[in-house]
A and B are shown apart, each in its own frame.
Chain A
Amino acid sequence: MRPNTTALARATSGVAWLVVFMTLAAELSAPFKAFLAGLVGHHWVAKSLIAAVAFVVFYFLFRKARESESPLGSVVFAVVSVVFGGLIIFSFYLWHFLLG
């Protein structure tokens, strides 16, 4: 099996930003958190399953695009997305805690 690495890198970036969005939205909106919990019984399990399904969907959507000969650009974007996504999540919870 030869995966399309441009599609894999873009799917990774997409999932990173989706996780950031779901995390912040669930903390800021009680109805959204309740909606996630209502899907499978726990909001974190719902986020996990949505992330996994989204990764597969993004991969098949992006796979239609031509694969780049050098994946460096899309991989760097994925790495930057993960690093900034992680920093945003940490900063959000720190801010949330400090504000009480």
Chain B
Amino acid sequence: MHTLIALHAALGEAGALAFLWVLVELLNPSEARLRRARIAAFLGVLFLTASWVAGGFYYVTEYGAAVKPLIKSGPLPWAHSVITETKEHVFLFLPFLAILAWGLLTRFRDEFMQNRDLRIATILVAGLVVLMAFAMAGMGFIISSGFRAALEATAL
């Protein structure tokens, strides 16, 4: 496993967990819970942005030259042609969704306790961040499986 991939995955999962934390705090908000939600959302933005940079650096410097050709010539070429291609582009939505969730929490602060629409809006965004971030992890597993299958096919 490459260090950058481990960093990319760990930061992405930390970002997902941060927004899961936001979602839970919003289910029954109080001043203290909203303060924690703002901190979690801010950390989530940092984690997902750092994951973007780490994953992008690996993709540009290592993946294209060393991994992509092997997967495409292996038994699971769709792992690159469909999954990697989708992942590398859909990931671009995540940091902006995360900023939107953090912006909602920062702008409306304690209004969440009285305003149900605000809670629904922010839970929707935070929930989508969590689902997409875990979907990215699942896609990462499929890509790794495609690479492993290609290596096994080469060795055998």
Q: What is A's interface to B at a CB cutoff of 8 Å?
A: 1-5, 8-9, 11-12, 15-16, 19, 23, 42, 44-45, 47-48, 51, 55, 70-72, 75-76, 78-79, 82-83, 85-86, 89-90, 93-94, 96-97
Contact = CB atoms under 8 A, between A and B. Distances in A.
26 contacts: A12-B97, A15-B92, A15-B96, A16-B93, A19-B89, A23-B89, A42-B60, A44-B59, A45-B56, A47-B89, A47-B92, A48-B52, A51-B92, A70-B115, A71-B121, A72-B118, A72-B121, A75-B121, A75-B122, A76-B124, A79-B125, A89-B86, A89-B90, A90-B86, A97-B77, A97-B78
Contacts of B132: 82, 86
Interface in B112-134: 115, 117-118, 120-122, 124-125, 128, 132
**Tier of interface size on chain B:** 20 to 34
B56 A44 contact: yes
Interface stretch (B10-18, B28-36, B102-110, B145-153): B102-110
A45 B60 contact: yes
Interface in B78-102: 78, 81-82, 85-86, 88-90, 92-93, 96-97, 99-100
Contacts of A15: 92-93, 96
Given A8-B99, A47-B89, A79 B106 contact: no
Contacts of A51: 92, 96
Contacts of B82: 90, 93-94, 97
A8 B105 CA distance: 12
